[in-house]
Amino acid sequence: MRRAPGARFPVETGPRSSHNLAMAISLKPRRFVFEYTQAGLVAIIFALFVRTFLLQPFTIPSPSMENTLLVGDYILVNKFALTSLASPIERAFLPIAPVRRGDVIVFRYPHDERQDYVKRAIGLPGETVKIVDRVVYIQKPGQEGYVPLIEPYSSHQDPGSVPPELDNLGPLAIPEGQYFVMGDNRDNSLDSREWGLVPRDHIVGRALLVYWSFEGGRPEGVQAASRQPASGVSRLIRSAGAFFTDTRWGRTFHFIR
């Protein structure tokens, strides 16, 4: 080892220094791959944690919740808020809220748990619900008589299109751990009026916000597009343009009520 002219520190020269330099160069790609692989795994684990326990995206495929949710809405569901907790310690210390009347919830369909449904919680455990001429009435535990619900979110877009038993139902007593749910579009919704109650452990979470809404996702938009054959480049250009023209910008980051 000798001190190179003008250098402040000793510089190693000779075969040994060349060998060390070659080893350092060969280690750089390995370190680069290792660090980025490690960062990627951390990101994947974090994304899986968020999706499993905190937030999960869903797409609205049907008009049963219009006009609260539209076909083509992409929503985020707060899974943590309504997660089922078995331990009393968890219930005491974790900020978990009960399912409230009026919550827009996502749940596993009781008759096919592979399907996810989104509806509004109407009747709570221990209550009795009845529907008279499309008006929903609730009788709470220990209460005499029924109280009509004020439902500014509900709509009847096609009166007379549903069987009479859906406009007049009950009274139906709701057992503990069960919920009566309905779609806001009462004339175009398959809900508890037809297939029954939703168990508490089937509830995935509460709908939080619309993070994107695409009008081209409506069935008539898809059918219209399928009738226009075009080349791959033309479809790509049309799709890129549709992102701007068919996006409902006013619904972006719209909180769901």
Which phi and psi angles does 212 have, rounded to 5°? -160, 145
Cis omega before residue 67 (within 30°)? Answer: yes
Which residue of the set 26, 28, 64, 239 is catalytic?
Answer: 64
Is 62 among the residues known to form the active site?
no
Task: For residues 66 and 119, give the distance between their C-alpha atoms in angstroms, rounded to a whole number.
Answer: 11
> Do 100 and 189 contact (CB within 8 A), yes or no?
no
3-class DSSP string for 233-257: HHHHHHHHHHHHHCECHHHCCEECC
Q: Which of 79, 119, 189, 192 is catalytic?
A: 119
64 is catalytic: yes
List residues with catalytic annotation.
64, 119
